[in-house]
Amino acid sequence: MKELMTIVRVAVGLIVVAAVGVSIAACGSTPSGSPAQPMYDQFDRDWQYWMAQHPEVAVSLGVPGGEGRWTDYSADAIATRATYVRESLERIKFVDRATLGEADQLNYDLYRQLLETAVEGLDLQNDAIPIRGVTARNLMMPMNQMEGMQQDIPRTIALMPTQSTADLSHIVTRLRGIPAVVDQTIALMRQGIVEKMTPPRIVLRDLPGQVLAQVVDEPLSSPMLAAFVTRPSGVPESEWPGLVEQATASYRQQVAVAFRRMHAFLVDEYLPACRDSIGANALPRGDALYQYNAKWHTTTAKTPKEIHDIGVAEVARIRAEMEKVIAQAGYANRFDDFVRFLRTDRRFYYTDANALVSGYRDVAKRADPELAKLFGRLPGTPYGVIRVPDAVAPSQTTAYYEPGSLVAGRPGYMFANTYKLDARPKYEMEALTLHEAVPGHHLQIAIAQELTGLPEFRKHSSYTAYVEGWALYAERLGEQMGFYKDPYSRFGQLTYEMWRAVRLVVDTGLHSMGWTRQQAIDFFLKNTAKTQQDITVEVDRYIVWPGQALGYKMGEIKLRELRTAAEAQLGTAFDIRSFHDEILASGAVPLDVVETRVKSWIER
């Protein structure tokens, strides 16, 4: 998942939070006068506050009240949010944990941990907000090839309702607010230059093009104005021309001008000032920043060196499994030859983008009926497979998932990258679809969103080790679902598992051990069958998201360990559907909480 993808992308000022309209009942319920009531009151107030402060997130979750606004990244607004999260931490400490029931003690522990992590992030210049886990985009580095206003803006507008005059008016208002978003982003990046907080220049090579790709000669051809091409049935015919005129005028006079201004800033001022170094440890307080990220994304206290060594061991283990598959395919002891064959033989690649997307859809629909064998509970939110937007495809990963919202009537989507079809091998498609769609991200996230009786923050938490660990674990479930029948797709599944093991080695190498970018690329090439395009994009991703890539394998290792223990202890009483339902029943949580829950389930 693309953080979200899995990480949350947020681009405002303080408003009356009641406008968001999330009731206490929606955040979990507790009897009046209960010792837990003050805690639930705080959950409700804080959730409303953060939805108001970050209306883009509210749009993605289907929460009303933020229509037409963008997050305010002025210095005053940033300071106000920092004060709020610090005060929120102090408020939660007044709750007497000892008086709470077991379930509410867990709610307390998780929320306090989120707040403590967010406050710690403030000292590292993160705009750390305790929603969907902790969103830790560094304020001084708000844009890179993977994230930023060039992606946040069109994505948010694409998620907005479009059925009424009011809906379209809100889009116009948001279009008119884009210049402020651009100017605030530029101000933060200029501050980053002064404080020597910039991304490496090499990974930003596509960023100016991403920005300029949002500028088109004909406004109605822009994806941001897609809602104004055909009149919705809910918009009176008499009002339609005026709305279209407002939208096109806003695009020409404000949106296009603002994006051109950002492009000029990037080319003339920002990229020349960006650093040549690669690792996070080259930044001010870089070692502390990396330790913070590693702890958050893995939900463990393991050091970068310990994680690196785990990665080395996993690479060796998976390499042995790969050698067995290579032997089955008739390439015994010829790893390099087999990988070269996979990278170059045209039978493994589509020549038509629509056919590639259809191929992913076929895998997804073959997976759907198998879910009932592995899960007792399935989500009600549907999902689909669509293309990655062309404007960002060259710098994006092979695929990613974007959550839907049953409340807003919006499905989840797996986005498939159709850029450079010769870099998208067929033998990886089964594993990737199971990861991004079902039984991976869509199944887990949609179930979490649909849980009842939990505070709202629990339904939308995004601990990387849990969310991505589950999706990697889900890839292996393909063996029980009838996938990986030929040695090529089986090798593709192992390639994806190897990819995540390599991440442990490469991410820690880049950010704490002085590895070069080329060293990381070469390690990838040596141990996986992924194409040069994929590997380069992946390494550049790890460079700008220090620590995020560590959560996948660390989470999957723990889930496999827990399943093995449950199977050994329960023997013939082990029920795979019940086990999976237990893993998914609490939403995303830290790995130690998962372990405690599974041990309790085994005892029951």
Q: ∠ CA(3), CA(226), CA(171), 5° rounding?
A: 75
Q: What is the DSSP secondary-structure string of 277-326?
A: --SGGGSTTHHHHHHHHHHHHHTS---HHHHHHHHHHHHHHHHHHHHHHH
19-42 pLDDT per residue, tens: 333 333 334 455 557 899 999 999
Averaged pLDDT, 136-142? 86
Q: What is the dihedral of CA 396, 400, 403, 404, to 10 degrees?
A: 90
The pLDDT mean for the chain works out to 92
What pLDDT sits at residue 14? 26
What pLDDT sits at residue 10? 30
64-94 pLDDT per residue, tens: 888 899 999 999 999 999 999 999 999 999 9
Alpha helices in 69-202 (DSSP H): 75-92, 102-122, 149-159, 165-194
451-496 pLDDT per residue, tens: 999 999 999 988 999 999 999 999 999 999 999 999 999 999 999 9
What pLDDT sits at residue 9? 31
**Is 0.95 topped by the overall pTM?**
no
CB distance 550 to 508 below 8 Å: yes
Backbone angles phi, psi at 217, to 5 degrees: -70, -40
What pLDDT sits at residue 11? 30
The β-bridge partners of 28 are: none
Share of the chain above pLDDT 90, in %: 85
What pLDDT sits at residue 136? 60
371-407 pLDDT per residue, tens: 999 999 999 999 999 999 988 898 888 999 999 998 8
Banded pLDDT at 18 (limits 50, 70, 90): very low
Banded pLDDT at 545 (limits 50, 70, 90): very high
What pLDDT sits at residue 330? 87
CB distance 90 to 78 below 8 Å: no
Banded pLDDT at 534 (limits 50, 70, 90): confident
Averaged pLDDT, 243-272? 98
What is residue 135's three-state secondary structure? strand
Share of the chain above pLDDT 70, in %: 94
What pLDDT sits at residue 107? 97
What pLDDT sits at residue 46? 95
